[in-house]
Structure 1
Amino acid sequence: MGVFMRPLDVPIGVSDFKALREGRRYYVDKTAFIGEVLRAPPQVLLFPRPRRFGKSLNMSMLKCFLERTPEDRRPLFEGLAVMQDPDALAHFQQYPVIYTRLGTVWAGDRVEARETLREEARRIYEAHSYLLTEGALAPHERVRFLEIFERRADEALLCSALADLSRFLHRYHGKRVVILVDEYDAPLHLSQVHKSFAETVDLIRKFLHSGIKDNPHLAKGVLTGILRISNESIFSGLNNVVTYSILCSECATSFGFTEEETTKILRDAEAYEQRERVRRWYQGYLFGQQSIFNPWSVLNFVRQSDVRFLDYWARESPSDISEELIARWFTQCYDDFEKLLRDEVIEKPIQDHIALRDATSHQETVWSILVMAGYLRAEVIAQREEDEDGEPICELSFPNREVRGKFTRIFKRWMEAGIGGKPGLAELEMSLFEGNAERLAVLLEGFLLKLSNYDRAPKEIEAHYHVFLMGLLITLEGRIFEIKSNRESGYGRYDVMLIPKRPGLPGVVMELKVLPARGSKVPSKAKVEATLEAALLQIETLEYAQDLRERGAKPIHQIAVVFSGKRAWVRSRRASPRRLPSR
């Protein structure tokens, strides 16, 4: 029988705060963010956060609270935290607000970017079309307004749209404006994929600068996106923009769900007993020093009546720049990705200012993008807080099971391609299942030929092959085998062990050896034979197979693997049924 809970009426995909509140949909109170924004000293604030972490809803909430309108919006905020914040309430419905979402701007090339930006500018102006009928515009201003409103504006006029509108609104309302820019970097991600980055950056920079750079009509600006694109591009020359990234403690709980918020959600859904599994699947993000849950996945989890732990956030993601970068850098970063998949941490300098143009040529940029995009958890190492460039050194790991699963699928697809697709992977599994040394050697060598980074110094080489083999075997984990590495068994520590999921199935214990590669020269047959026998003798003498015996594996394949450059040799021998004496 399945496990059931009370589904909540959660607003999946709804980013309109007014519609959410008027529809009495389930809402996790994030209105304290309003006071944080208003009290923050910077004139313009940028909040880079992973996708689906509530950025658009928070921006809609800010608009509803701050926007001057004849409609009394107090009922929308009834019972919420901001109503207990007198500083914030002093700003309630006091400002003309310009609100734009650049996620609507498609940047396949400059022409397409300009056309879609022209449509977004028309939408912005339409929200303030009352200026046309109120006699608020001089004749030449009316002409400029209509050219944008009717989508006839040339690029120069289009790029001054925010400056013009903020001037019109300031004069009409007698109050400086608030400018809210949601998904400011969306066109840049698309342009990176479509190879039109420089042109798109130039267009978006001009458009944004007109509103937030040296604008005397601006009271406050708030931008959200996934990344903080570095100063050489969008924010070049902007000294009034301050970034509150996931490495900062300020506003750390404003996006995503805290432990307390998630506990309340689970209680409301009558699913409190699932809290530990929810933590494993959806928690693990670190914003400042706050542990954060993925809000998209948590809300998807509680909107159904039956308990299903699925990777809602990871699978919902379109192919984005993060996946493009993983594919591009996979072989060069193989060791690091494989360590992450073994639930180990890696140490990297992390930048919160990203130069996207370097992403395809600088490996260090990849890790920063993966952290900011929500694919990796970053924890600053206190004792080595900064490297020589002033960048924090962070321990990186997968935040939770959901994200780890996404990487495992990417990793598995790449491994499958390298070994001949699903048939090749099945053949690898069968060669281990049967202890077929000859076939295993062919498969390993074939895969090594596809990798380009096996010319390491002698000190590093054995560990590197170990990483390679473990990465390959991880793709087999789950159905038949449990994969272990460097664990104690018998009188020593084996290199690799494949433990059957149930007694009576074959088990495998492996010992790896490396012979130095000297150019194209292959080690002598005698040397290879002696090394293979030495590895098998080590397995037998140190009784590495003991754990497999205790787990009921039958038969047990003892496998020696010798690597040299991109060559591999394998020898297999069945273990005897004897057991170690009791200790």
Structure 2
Amino acid sequence: MKTCKEMALIWNISVRAVTSLCKSGRIPGAVKNGKSWEIPDEATKPVDGRISSGEYCKKGMTTDRKPLPIGISDYVRAQSDYYYVDKTMLIKEFLDQKPLVSLFTRPRRFGKTLNMDMLRVYFEMTDEDTSKYFEDKNIWKCGKDYRLHQGKYPVIFLTFKDVKFDSWQATVEKIKSLLQEEYGRHQELLSSLKISDYEKEYFNKVLSATENEVELSFSLEKLSKMLASHYDKAPIIIIDEYDTPIQEGYSKDFYDEIIGFMRNFFSGAFKDNKNLSYGFLTGILRIAQESIFSGLNNLTVNSVMDEAYDRYFGFTNEEVSEMLDYYGATEKESELQEWYDGYLFGNEEIYNPWSVINYISKGCVPQAYWVNTGKNEILEDVLKVAYEDITEKLYSLIRGGKVLARIDQNVVYRSLTEDPTNIYSLLLVAGYLKTTIKELQADGSYLCQVSIPNKEIASVYKSEILAHLMKIGAVSRTTADKIAESLFLNDYVKLEKAISEYMDKTISFYDTASESFYHGMILGLISMMDNQYKIKSNRESGKGRFDIGLIPRDDKYPGMIMELKWKKNLDDDELTLLADEALCQIHSMEYDSEMKSEGVKKILKFGIAFSGKSVCVKTN
């Protein structure tokens, strides 16, 4: 008998893929011994529907397989018509703890809206028997104590995910329309004998969207009171993506207006509101420093750093393995993991759910699916305030490095201008970084080692940083093209000129930069060549590690190796000697060994020396 690990090596697939095959009964004779599987020595690799090449064939998805829920945030529809990853145990965990008001902070497109709609359907009392949507789910197996809560509460539900406008007035009108729609869901209150005439008058104002801003700010408080009076049961209030209009206010210059409104809006709904059974909010950030939740001592925050609810937003390893098995794509697990895994929420390793379902549904083609669902404004804001040390660390992250950073979960958008080191906190909660090591500090912050989670996020760093350099005039598209062309043509004079042009247009901190900064700078400038080359940094080859290698994806391109050197205050002759030294190092250390072994016939070698704003390039 063999272990899953041994079979994984023999069959050239991941251990998790073999385990999934065992669980699904695809390997005859496989038996579970304790926590491990034992597989017969003579077992053969299953071939029914498995992927044996880089091409994923959609026709392999037979008609009995449900489609994946791309863009579906309606729980009833998602669980009945699509492949649904069961997250209903979130309900059990909540009912075990019973926090009065819960805030869940997670990156965009990690299932927040779908989970909040699931809570609404579970708890809301309606004329329809909604228990049928949960009878085959995990929560229903937990017993009557949990089932007793199903369909027993009036619910107020708002999602702010589409409140994205350029002005405060347009934002107010959109919020009015959301309240108008939600009040419209509860028009039974207008005929209730338990609701006073003045309350019905206010209700009609909201229905007709004629209330002023002050009246709008206590609309949640008013509706919760009326629902509690009518049903003799305090409602549950759910606010999804509460901070979306706040981010818009920050970027569109109505930040103070939206903060002032939200402070009153949430205070009436959640602070000392006796007409509240439970409250749920979701967002990317906890905007505590702006006093939106001022005095709200009943708020429980569940962030990416916390263990509570860590497996309910995004997909776990087990969930992804089961999904790949369902669609007959278990052999794509390693690729999928490389591109979309890597997040750590609490103690749980998490995949980006939006990217996973797009990857599988679009034929297992790895692309940057998640990063294209938004404008990446947060990363743009970070780059605007990044100074030398931060920029250097961002380049280090692109190269696969790790950065030590203090993570403050109370970070707000405008704190970037007050203290640019807050960028790491913002990037972490927004999904652009992951923690590899974290240590809680006495003030409630964390000291963390952070890195880029996966290939998808690495791609957006490259594109956004290059776009930012162009925007500030540090590098033009023409300059970037010149660099790419000079590398292809092995024209070191043109390369030297293009790099010099770039540095001449940048600010003076390059004068005191380090070798690692120049290393990152070159990586950023050649990032546009990612389609033609696999760009490697600090890769072991020959007798040491080269600085930058460009391994061609097609035989028609030459391979390239770059060795970088840097020293302060060099004159032209000294800079030339340093470039010669870098080129000699490529030859003497045989950095081209790996490329040669991979069949790359033509390899260009560049020795590049920097001193302040001066550069010298030597080539073979």
Identity score, percent: 30
2:103 matches 1:51: no
Q: TM-score, normalised by structure 1?
A: 0.88
- Single out whichever of 94-103 and 402-411 deviates more from structure 2: 402-411
Q: Partners in 1 of 2:357 and 2:422 — Cα distance? A: 31
Question: Structure 2 vs 1, CA of residues 508 and 30 (structure 1 numbering), >3 Å: closer, same or farther?
Answer: closer
C-alpha displacement of 1:87: 2.9
Question: Structure 2 vs 1, CA of residues 299 and 476 (structure 1 numbering), >3 Å: closer, same or farther?
Answer: closer
Q: Partners in 2 of 1:71 and 1:504 — Cα distance? A: 65
Give secondary structure in 2 for the equivalent of 1:396. strand
**Letter of the aligned partner of 2:568 in structure 1?**
P
Give secondary structure in 1 for the equivalent of 2:313. coil
Q: Does the CA contact (< 8 Å) of 1:189 and 1:320 recur in 2? A: no
Q: Kindly report which structure 2 residues correspond to 1:250-329, keeping only aligned pairs within 5 A, or say none.
A: 250-304=308-362, 306-315=363-372, 317-329=373-385
Q: Partners in 1 of 2:221 and 2:331 — Cα distance? A: 53
2:480 matches 1:425: yes
Q: Which deviations, in whole Å up to 9, do the C-alpha atoms of 1:391-446 show, x marking residues without a partner?
A: 21222222222222222322343466767555433422332334323222211111
Q: Which deviations, in whole Å up to 9, do the C-alpha atoms of 1:353-402 show, x marking residues without a partner?
A: 22222134422222222211212212333xxx145754212222222222
Q: Does the CA contact (< 8 Å) of 1:487 and 1:495 recur in 2? A: no
**Letter of the aligned partner of 2:574 in structure 1?**
K
Question: Structure 2 vs 1, CA of residues 136 and 108 (structure 1 numbering), >3 Å: closer, same or farther?
Answer: farther
Q: Partners in 2 of 1:148 and 1:374 — Cα distance? A: 37
State which of 64, 68, 79 in structure 1 corresponds to 2:125. 68
C-alpha displacement of 1:222: 0.6
Cα RMSD (Å): 2.8
Question: Structure 2 vs 1, CA of residues 256 and 529 (structure 1 numbering), >3 Å: closer, same or farther?
Answer: closer
The answer to which structure, 1 or 2, has the higher relative contact order (CA under 8 A, 6+ apart) is 1
Question: Structure 2 vs 1, CA of residues 342 and 511 (structure 1 numbering), >3 Å: closer, same or farther?
Answer: closer
2:217 matches 1:162: no
Match for residue 465 of structure 1?
518
Match for residue 450 of structure 1?
505
**Letter of the aligned partner of 1:143 in structure 2?**
E
Q: Which runs of 5+ in 1 are unaligned?
A: 518-522, 575-583
Match for residue 149 of structure 2?
91
2:568 matches 1:513: no
C-alpha displacement of 1:47: 0.4
C-alpha displacement of 1:104: 4.2
C-alpha displacement of 1:98: 1.1
Q: Partners in 2 of 1:486 and 1:294 — Cα distance? A: 28
Q: Does the CA contact (< 8 Å) of 2:100 and 2:298 recur in 1? A: yes
C-alpha displacement of 1:29: 1.1
Question: Structure 2 vs 1, CA of residues 380 and 109 (structure 1 numbering), >3 Å: closer, same or farther?
Answer: same
Question: Structure 2 vs 1, CA of residues 463 and 486 (structure 1 numbering), >3 Å: closer, same or farther?
Answer: farther
Q: Partners in 2 of 1:35 and 1:388 — Cα distance? A: 31
State which of 296, 311, 318 in structure 2 corresponds to 1:238. 296
C-alpha displacement of 1:214: 0.6
Give secondary structure in 2 for the equivalent of 1:98. strand
Match for residue 82 of structure 1?
139
Q: Partners in 1 of 2:481 and 2:616 — Cα distance? A: 20
Match for residue 578 of structure 1?
none
Q: Does the CA contact (< 8 Å) of 2:395 and 2:517 recur in 1? A: no
Q: Which deviations, in whole Å up to 9, do the C-alpha atoms of 1:23-82 show, x marking residues without a partner?
A: 543221111111222222421000011111111111111111111223211111121111
Q: Partners in 2 of 1:421 and 1:438 — Cα distance? A: 19
Match for residue 213 of structure 1?
271
Q: Partners in 1 of 2:364 and 2:242 — Cα distance? A: 36
Q: TM-score, normalised by structure 2?
A: 0.83
Q: Does the CA contact (< 8 Å) of 2:479 and 2:501 recur in 1? A: no
Q: Which deviations, in whole Å up to 9, do the C-alpha atoms of 1:62-109 show, x marking residues without a partner?
A: 111111223211111121111122332121222111111123434533
Q: Partners in 2 of 1:552 and 1:257 — Cα distance? A: 39
State which of 452, 459, 465 in structure 2 corresponds to 1:405. 459
Give secondary structure in 1 for the equivalent of 2:426. helix
**Letter of the aligned partner of 1:408 in structure 2?**
K
Q: Which deviations, in whole Å up to 9, do the C-alpha atoms of 1:250-279 show, x marking residues without a partner?
A: 011111111111222122212222222222
User: How many equivalent residue pairs?
Assistant: 559
**Letter of the aligned partner of 2:457 in structure 1?**
V
